[in-house]
Structure 1
């Protein structure tokens, strides 16, 4: 599901370090630090290849220090690119709750092996390469998925959907509420992404005097 999981779970002391706050700081300071870090590593602002991993660590750190679940973070912390997409939806996200993995008759892994692969722990397909918006094989994989479980999303939407999906797959007990939220966010993303319009470029007004006569 991307980089960042390979480093293992954060400790409480590491969580404070990720957010850049002291252990004796207040909840208000933790929230402010979290929002500042989200802005710093936002995919639309930070084009560094490690920005994905960093924003995941920021979310994990805030989960630890606030005791919020990923769904609560999305709902309470104004982390909602689903209302206002930050850019065009060119990243791909696989809803692994619907994916049947190698049993699929029209596997995305076979159609576009450079963009999808089967996860060893779940057996489901997962996108591991982004920035393939012009790739015909990826377009076919998305459009011809028999379970309709591959979606074009924005970078911010993808990160939050992946975090929410990961929390569902990792927890052995009932996660129906989180699953419902995942499906609703995907639906919302599809609707808003279809409405997205690129910001119009401002025309430069000339300050030079023009004598028309």
Structure 2
């Protein structure tokens, strides 16, 4: 069984989003997201996008899609645990596919991304801060003060997780437990990347993001429920095909 599988991801919240789009005429888009992880500047042309995906400009739509899925598996932090910059690379792959396909970034996440909210791929040990609710520097129980090795203040004044892998750290657990807004959540790496992409869309368009905020809240609730149900894969018993001479 593969550690990761790509599938069509359509959780119940997305039909609600589509209904809102149809009623208001507002199309959700995730273009122009902020540079959260310090990756390189946005791709400037289609040539660089083709290079990121490793395909020729003459490739078919099916080949483009296959290349995107292959790159997702190659660079995803759930697989590339030892590699640095996995988050930046997966975002760059999504950006390249967005540039070369007819899909918006959120549509790509819906249609092509991993399905981490229905089937968590690992234990939820990464931390995600919902900056739309965070009090920031005015918080009396600041997570940045409690666990400065895992959190820092963003340019907006809100707290942000700057380092992962501290899910079992007592100071991080204390920061999560004492957050007065309950805006810090334990999530899987896959869930975190998608939630960060959606959050960036909200922060970039704060005056027209109520539906995106509702979607973010719905995904956080679903992640919490599914993560509590996660069970580690059972280890397969070791078997030997060698004959044993008992005499």
Matches within 5 A, 1:7-86: 7-13=40-46, 14-47=48-81, 48-86=83-121
Structure 1: gaps of 5 or more residues: none
Distance in 1, Cα, partners of 2:211 & 2:72: 25
Q: Does the 8 Å CA contact 1:4/1:56 hold for their aligned counterparts?
A: no
Q: How far apart, in 2, do the equivalents of 1:143 and 1:67 lie?
A: 42
Q: Structure 2, unaligned stretches of length 5 or more? A: 1-34
SS at match of 2:160: strand
Question: Using the alignment, how far apart are the partners of 1:172 and 1:2 within structure 2?
Answer: 17
* 1:190 alignment counterpart: 224
Match of 1:132 among 166, 191, 200: 166
Deviation of 1:3 (Å): 2.6
The separation in 2 between residues aligned to 1:149 and 1:18, in whole angstroms, is: 34
Does the 8 Å contact 1:73/1:79 carry over to 2? Answer: no
Which residue of 199, 202, 209 maps to 1:168?
202
The Cα shift of 1:164 comes to: 1.5
Q: CA deviation at 1:206?
A: 4.0
Distance verdict in 2 for CA 1:59–1:4, change over 3 Å: farther
Q: How does 1:122-161 map to 2 (within 5 A)?
A: 122-161=156-195
| Count of residue pairs the alignment pairs up | 210
TM-score, normalised by the number of residues in structure 2: 0.78
TM-fit CA distance, 1:12? 2.8
Counterpart CA distance in 1 for 2:125 and 2:175 is 14
Q: CA deviation at 1:168?
A: 2.0
Shift of 1:173: 5.3
- CA distance in structure 1 between the partners assigned to 2:240 and 2:103 by the alignment: 52
Matched residues in 2 for 1:4 and 1:80: separation? 25
The DSSP-based 3-state class of the residue aligned with 1:54 is helix
TM-score, with length taken from structure 1? 0.90
Moved over 4 A (4+): none
State the distance in 2 between where 1:12 and 1:81 align.
31
Q: CA RMSD in A?
A: 2.0
